[in-house]
Amino acid sequence: MRRKLIAGNWKMNGSVSANASLLAEISAGGVDVAKADVLVCPPFPYLTQALDKVQGTAIAVGAQDCSVHDAGAYTSEVSAAMLRDVGCTYVILGHSERRSYHAESDQIVAAKTLQALRAGLTPIVCVGETLEQRESGATDAVVGAQLKAVLEKLDSAEIAKIVVAYEPVWAIGTGKTATPEMAQEVHAFLRQVIASFNAEAAATVKILYGGSMKPDNAAELLRQTDIDGGLIGGAALKANDFLAIIAAV
């Protein structure tokens, strides 16, 4: 049985005071550790603040990106080792906003995944199709290629350590959600792709759904056989919504 993971992707939102309130409210909400693993991913400057605030709770902290490089003259970049050094345990990689606004290729996402794993972080590898790709029937081909590009670079043990997030681009921040059936279909396909590399890992690797997951649609999505949690944007910025999604597990 795969344990669910509810992850908040804060994107470029927050401030010292807003984060303090949000984290205090989430902690006070009494996150039910028996139900799910819970993760928040604030912007880089607030990682240590978040790590400090969640101390003594079951909430984990992750980043939203890392460098492909180990260290050195790479102005503005943050290495996976630095994230681990401050106490992060996860990192989101290959989010569609990185792929489209920063031209991140599958190769870059694969290189970052290796960096994360070598630093001891759990990478959350995001894949997803655009509306045009879905309408032309290319969903499986697109997400399959995105995932394979990463899996090809990993050994069997490394494959077992990743988390995958299926995030249809057309559902991110749009209020449009894939129906539970649509999402389940893609999740089952992604699990087959993992199985073609490592059958054992396919049974344990978590595949999260992301794209306008909200309190009112979370339960149905999370009930699907191959949906092992959520990567939540907008609703992760409201404590009540985030707690309600955790409670929906």
Cα angle, residue 46 at apex, residues 41 and 98 outer, rounded to 5°: 50
Report the run of H or E that residue 209 belongs to, with start and end. strand 207-210
Closer residue to ligand PGA (CB): 201 or 211: 211
Closer residue to ligand PGA (CB): 211 or 229: 211
Report the run of H or E that residue 239 belongs to, with start and end. helix 239-247
Q: Give the whole-angstrom CA distance, residue 105 versus residue 45.
A: 25
The interaxial angle of helices 239-247 and 16-28, nearest 10 deg, is 30
Minimum CB–partner distance for residue 214 and ligand PGA (Å): 8
Q: Would you tell me how many other CB atoms lie within 10 Å of the CB of residue 176?
A: 12
Minimum CB–partner distance for residue 97 and ligand PGA (Å): 7
DSSP conformation class of 145: H
**Measuring CA to CA, how many Å separate 106 from each of 78, 100, 200?**
19, 12, 24
Locate 86 and state its tokens: 């401050």
> Is the distance from CB of 207 to CB of 166 less than 8 angstroms?
yes
Closer residue to ligand PGA (CB): 50 or 201: 50
Active site residue 95: yes
Find residue 1's DSSP bridge partners.
Answer: none
Catalytic residue among 95, 104, 158, 187: 95
Active site residue 167: yes
Binding site for ligand PGA (CB under 6 A): 9, 167, 172-173, 210-213, 231-235
Catalytic residue among 104, 129, 158, 167: 167
- Least Cα distance to 11 among 40, 38, 31, 53 occurs for 40
Minimum CB–partner distance for residue 21 and ligand PGA (Å): 20
Q: What is the dihedral of CA 20, 242, 207, 60, to 10 degrees?
A: 30
Minimum CB–partner distance for residue 173 and ligand PGA (Å): 4
DSSP conformation class of 44: G
Closer residue to ligand PGA (CB): 94 or 233: 233
Closer residue to ligand PGA (CB): 64 or 115: 64
Minimum CB–partner distance for residue 128 and ligand PGA (Å): 9
Minimum CB–partner distance for residue 167 and ligand PGA (Å): 6
Catalytic residues: 95, 167
